[in-house]
Amino acid sequence: MIETLKDYYSGFAIMNQELTLVLVLIFVLLADLFLGEKGKKNLQFAAIGSFALATISGFTVSFGGSQEAFAGMYVTSDMHVLVKNILNIGTLLVFFFAHYWNKNENRNQSGEFYFLTLSTLLGMYLMVSSGNFILFYIGLETASIPMAALVAFNKKNRDSAEAAAKYILTAAFSSGVMLFGISLIYGSCGSLYFDEVANAFQGLPVQILAMVFFMAGMGFKISLVPFHLWTADTYQGAPTSVTAYLSVMSKGAAAFTFLCILFKAFHNYPEIWQNILWWIIVVTITVGNLFAIRQKNLKRFLAFSSISQAGYIMLGVISGSPLGMTSTVYYIFIYLFTNLAAFGIISNIENQTGKVGMDDYNGLYGTNPKSAFIMTLAMFSLGGIPPFAGFFSKFFIFAAAAEQGQYLLVFIALLNTIISLYYYLLVVKAMFINKSENPIPTIKSDNMSIIGLGICTIGILILGFISPIYEYMTSISFGM
């Protein structure tokens, strides 16, 4: 409990990463204001450079055990720090890929792009570290309101406006549904702190109803079936850099938060939410895969692929064990590199030729062998083919679910992996085998996206073999 003002302010001492990010935010805002028309070129380097420094400084943060501030409102531990570092890496990669787009298409608004993206990141930080439903809600909205502005970033583009309208209305509706659930939790448990909710949770019908409302709201954010309907349209209409950000960071942060809340607030009656989650996982993986097969637009294709990947992430959540948490975070970590590699190639090609259809990729290997190679790696890794990193993350997440006796679920997920291999290989087939009259001409990538793609490629190729990462995650994870 808070006793003096000094104790109160000492709470900020454990918020290193948030405060660093706020500094970067203010710096970007001021740089955007004062650099003027001529300095716009330097603004991007200032923003990316300062955020890169923040990312590096994030790795120096370490607590040893679990820490809390502001009377338990804000919770952190090494696992939370690690998740924030993972989000930092992903955001930095998105900045690399967005550099070319920012330089050519929105010269005057690149400052806004960085500011909005970093604001959503701050929201995700707060959401991940929340110990109370109030902070959780504020973090969630801080993450999703600027995100809508980002989706609408191409002001002159019809698709962008349509995607943003769909995104903001579904986001607002889903948070309304979730809030109704939270209000019932408050009414039946008498508190909003996760640990006090856990003590007061007795499995009353109203509490189960509240939990279902809450899970529905989170389902919208993670785009689980049957709450996935906004995903494909929003991913297709948004600018590609924003789609990449939305599909990896937004999803990863929401999935980890969902896991934390289920583990902390609802751990007394795990069988209730595990039953719900069981069906959601089965439907999510299957529907995502079946719809992905018939997509012709690569952004839509990756949207459905990311829906089914969200189902796989939930396999780690359903286990409820420390192993489940480890494999979930590991899966998000690998998924980040893999999906961003795919989006990096797509945004490169879209920026320079405007093509995103799968048919446009016919014969890509002949003209752009390196891009085709990286795309192939990404597809193999998403499909889970050894020895790429995606295989290891799928392996661990299946192991976590199987450890809790969910054999049928793991079997269904394995069957779905085979379906997913089919459509991931369709892309590879288009690039390597299909002939094309006018293939995409040889494009020259800019330096920033080459750096980003290089990091992603290295990640896909060797992360699976660096066992200290997995061991470190195991040593800091916690269960219910």
Partner 1 sequence: MNVPVEFYLVLSTLLFFIGVYGFIVRKNLIGILMSIELILNAVNINFVVFNRFLFPEKLEGYMYGLFVIIVAAAETAVAIAIIINVYRNMKNIDVDSIKELKN
- What is the token pair recorded at 228? 């996935």
What is the DSSP secondary structure assignment for residue 359, as one 8-state letter?
Answer: G
Beta carbons within 10 angstroms of residue 9's beta carbon: 10
Kindly tell me which residue out of 49, 176, 226, 387 binds partner 1, with binding defined by CB under 8 A. Answer: 176
Those residues with Cβ within 8 angstroms of residue 409's Cβ, 6 or more apart along the chain or in another chain: 278, 281, 282, 315, 318, 401
The mark string for 408-447 relative to partner 1 (x by CB under 8 A, - otherwise) is: ----------------------------------------
Task: Tell whether residue 290 is a contact of partner 1 (CB under 8 A).
Answer: no
Angle separating helix axes 407-432 and 369-383, nearest 10 degrees: 170
CA terminus-to-terminus distance, the chain: 24
Kindly tell me which residue out of 297, 434, 436, 474 binds partner 1, with binding defined by CB under 8 A. Answer: 297
Closest contact distance (angstroms) between CB of 58 and partner 1 is 27
Q: Which stretch binds partner 1 (CB under 8 A): 13-21, 86-94, 167-175, 464-472?
A: 167-175
The mark string for 93-132 relative to partner 1 (x by CB under 8 A, - otherwise) is: ----------------------------------------
Q: Which stretch binds partner 1 (CB under 8 A): 102-110, 184-192, 367-375, 421-429?
A: 184-192
The amino acid that residue 248 corresponds to is: V
DSSP conformation letters of 155-221: TT-HHHHHHHHHHHHHHHHHHHHHHHHHHHHHHHHS--BHHHHHHH----HHHHHHHHHHHHHHHHH
Site for partner 1 in 348-407 (CB under 8 A): none
Question: Is residue 311 within 8 Å of residue 281, measured between CB atoms?
Answer: yes
Site for partner 1 in 227-246 (CB under 8 A): 232-233, 236-237
Closest contact distance (angstroms) between CB of 304 and partner 1 is 10
Q: Which stretch binds partner 1 (CB under 8 A): 77-85, 186-194, 248-256, 368-376?
A: 186-194
d(CA 307, CA 442): 32
Binders of partner 1: how many residues, by CB under 8 A? 46
**Closest CB to partner 1 among residues 162, 403:** 162
d(CA 291, CA 313): 19
Q: Which stretch binds partner 1 (CB under 8 A): 133-141, 273-281, 327-335, 341-349?
A: 133-141
Is the Cα torsion angle 313, 92, 154, 27 positive or negative in sign?
positive
Closest contact distance (angstroms) between CB of 22 and partner 1 is 18
CA atoms within 13 Å, Cβ hemisphere of 206: 10
Residues that bind partner 1 (CB under 8 A): 133-134, 137-138, 141, 145, 148-149, 152, 155-159, 161-166, 168-169, 172-173, 175-177, 179-180, 182-184, 186-187, 190-192, 232-233, 236-237, 294-297, 300
